[in-house]
Amino acid sequence: MIFEPGVIKVEKEREFGELKAAIEKAFSADGVTKYLKALDRGGIRVRDLDAAFASDAIDRANGEKTGTARSLHEALPVSDRSQVREFYLSKVEEVDPALRAKFHKLYQYY
């Protein structure tokens, strides 16, 4: 039997879509190194999404106005935020192993 996650309807589609696009851009081949460096400068672990939003690391990596991703995230209801977190964590795990090794401190659990 294969596990398939349930589908939860997105309530605020515009904000969700913009935030998802910002995360995709931060984890793109061109942007991921810049994003990981922004996290490293802030001493933020890669899986700490709340701290990433608080430090505006996604916005800085994407060259956006600071506070944009954070305000989009804050505008989402809990169910949409949970889906954003799942999406973000899946992108974290897709990062190239060589880059993960370079930024091993960000990927450590302790």
Over the stretch 10-31, which tens digit does the pLDDT of each residue have?
Answer: 889 999 999 999 999 999 998 9
Does a structural domain hold residue 101? Answer: yes
Neighbouring residues of 53: CB distance < 8 A, sequence distance ≥ 6: 69, 70, 73
Query: From CA 13, how far away is CA 83, in angstroms rounded?
Result: 12
pLDDT digits (tens, 9 = 90+) for 56-94: 999 999 999 989 999 999 999 999 999 999 999 999 999
Q: Is residue 75 part of a domain?
A: yes
Residue 54 lies in a domain: yes
| pTM (two decimals) | 0.87
Say if 102 falls within a structural domain: yes
Is there a domain that residue 7 lies in? Answer: no
| DSSP-assigned letter for residue 9 | -
Q: How far apart are the first and last CA of the chain?
A: 34
In a domain, 36, yes or no: yes
Total count of domains within the chain:
1
Distance CA 23, CA 88 (A): 7
Domain of residue 95: give its range: 13-107
> Is position 43 within any domain?
yes
β strands within the chain, DSSP E:
none
